[in-house]
Structure 1
């Protein structure tokens, strides 16, 4: 694809490379997919904003997932009303198909301060990434403490600390109204990553990040550091409307920001909302329980119920059809 190409902005991740700087990146904007994620729930605006930012991070990071791989991001909080923000990205089932995103948040509505900073509502905790390559493989999981004052800063710290890959995110999100359209959520952002090295340089003075964690500058030599700082200075000139607005094409944005860095773009990856829950998956998750255990899950009406936290789907089962002592698999609704 050439830089002059025109592609749909919405619900697309566009990978690119800066040939002059040995830096790769992605441009993303979520529109309809974000609306589909959020309409599954009735979150206050503060929680919606956190979920929107997490979905954007998931789309940018998940673009590298191969066919049928799964990426999961989690932020778990302690000491604040926001206890969990979880997202999943499912790699395309076939070439040319969209990646699928789903998300949900758990929080204490009684202690949530709607007028406070959203990130501060999480408190202490950790940021985690899990990659599942499918049956027969061992999932990979990496965890870093929450740091930096935003979800995007947490992701940057994760890549520096756990992967030793300098990474930068510039993200924005919010509710938008266009002529002839109702108000709805939009999100857009750019991700930069320095190409990984076999043996990253460790700064002689030790980690410079928050709480003794690694930062991008700690794992780059002088020449690489100069390239990295230059690309970040260029990214600092981006305007929020360029990231989130529908009138700026991603290829035009790359030319405006990085034309001297020789940007080269690749095929875009569409994304959509998608949930993988099903009655069979719920039944499988309960297959480790005995009939006695299943009895404790049975309601006064004589059924076992389950609700998907991601999409809100409701399932009902006859208790005798569940667990490793099940007599049949009938009765799910």
Structure 2
């Protein structure tokens, strides 16, 4: 086993905070796999989120990274939930080519009640509402937004529903989050977050092979069942393989993305491509904050002044920007 590990190691592994693109030519499948470690610790530690909130945001970050690294242009992908549950807002965005940031808002009292009732699944924490996928291609391009209803499904299921409705590409997603504790050389226990994800898409050369069952039309008479369309055999096989993944495999630091892909698809011939690193990088700046403040009215500026200054803290990275009232131009209205 040690010799085998050494031979595998000669090819190198992407490691944490890297996205591994791959292709399974025998199944006409392409995808991406990721394991997140230090990046998660940095983002989640800034706000000292309670465990249920941190776990939920970590899953959202993993999903955003999988989707965002597919952007073929300089832009931004924003994944945002708005619900009526204890965690009423989750935001994660990916700015190409490699910047990730995220933020969660929650009601402490409502969260405490959820913990007491052990109502801690993602649907229970988020509640009913919407999940929006926004693609921003820059200041001179129109934003594109796809919205999916939060109906009690998992983030995996909601993401797949989005691709079915908006992209019409057969897509399958698996996500996992783990909270690890380990002792360092001094015997002190250290806490770490990990998340993993894998996404596959069916992209055969013949478009008709991508057929999927029609979405419900909403006008089918009671008692009448809509006809079902069988999946392409290759796509059915690929999905079945991905469904065998255990959550521990997605988050285990000893199971690299490459090892996991080999376990799943080696019989079909999986090809991995160069990994792409992702980093905790906020896009806020003093100049951007000032531009926002310059659009405030004189009354709004006066209301923002405390102790002779205007202080603005970025919700994502917690950086504080301080301005004197004289610096802000404001509007004439």
- Please give the TM-score of this superposition, normalised by the length of structure 1: 0.84
8 Å CA contact 2:79, 2:133 repeated in 1? yes
Question: Is the counterpart of residue 207 in structure 1 residue 207 in structure 2?
Answer: no
SS at match of 2:140: coil
Post-superposition shift, 1:302?
2.4
Post-superposition shift, 1:282?
0.7
Query: Which stretch has the larger CA shift, 231-240 or 52-61?
Result: 231-240
How many angstroms apart in 2 are the aligned matches of 1:246 and 1:258? 20
How many angstroms apart in 1 are the aligned matches of 2:38 and 2:81? 24
Against the structure 1 CA distance between its residues 195 and 123, is the aligned structure 2 distance closer, same or farther, given a 3 Å change threshold? same
Post-superposition shift, 1:148?
5.2
Equivalences for residues 282-297 of structure 1 within 5 A: 282-297=289-304
Query: Which stretch has the larger CA shift, 109-118 or 22-31?
Result: 109-118
How many angstroms apart in 2 are the aligned matches of 1:228 and 1:280? 48
SS at match of 1:111: helix
Question: Is the counterpart of residue 118 in structure 1 residue 127 in structure 2?
Answer: no
How many residue pairs were aligned? 307
How many angstroms apart in 2 are the aligned matches of 1:146 and 1:325? 39
1:231 to 238, 242, 258: 238
How many angstroms apart in 2 are the aligned matches of 1:27 and 1:145? 26
Q: Tell me which residue corresponds to 2:181.
A: 177
8 Å CA contact 1:28, 1:189 repeated in 2? yes
Equivalences for residues 126-145 of structure 1 within 5 A: 126-145=130-149
Question: Is the counterpart of residue 190 in structure 1 residue 198 in structure 2?
Answer: yes
Q: Which runs of 5+ in 2 are unaligned?
A: 1-7, 221-225
Query: Which stretch has the larger CA shift, 36-45 or 62-71?
Result: 62-71
Equivalences for residues 77-156 of structure 1 within 5 A: 77-78=83-84, 80-92=85-97, 99-112=98-111, 113-114=114-115, 115-119=118-122, 120-147=124-151, 149-156=153-160
Post-superposition shift, 1:48?
0.3
8 Å CA contact 1:13, 1:269 repeated in 2? yes
Which deviations, in whole Å up to 9, do the C-alpha atoms of 1:92-149 show, x marking residues without a partner? Answer: 2xxxxxx111101111111111231232121111111111122321121111101353
Post-superposition shift, 1:31?
0.2
Q: CA-atom RMSD, angstroms?
A: 2.7
Q: Tell me which residue corresponds to 1:304.
A: 310
1:60 to 62, 66, 70: 66
SS at match of 1:260: coil
Q: Which runs of 5+ in 1 are unaligned?
A: 93-98, 213-217, 327-333
- Please give the TM-score of this superposition, normalised by the length of structure 2: 0.84
Which deviations, in whole Å up to 9, do the C-alpha atoms of 1:197-250 show, x marking residues without a partner? Answer: 86864636x4399xx9xxxxx9x965x532222111111222333211122232
Q: Tell me which residue corresponds to 2:162.
A: 158
SS at match of 2:287: helix
2:12 to 6, 18, 26: 6
Post-superposition shift, 1:67?
5.5
8 Å CA contact 2:39, 2:280 repeated in 1? yes
8 Å CA contact 2:171, 2:199 repeated in 1? yes
8 Å CA contact 1:290, 1:323 repeated in 2? no
How many angstroms apart in 2 are the aligned matches of 1:170 and 1:148? 17
Q: Tell me which residue corresponds to 2:41.
A: 35
Larger helix share, 1 or 2: 2
How many angstroms apart in 1 are the aligned matches of 2:183 and 2:324? 50
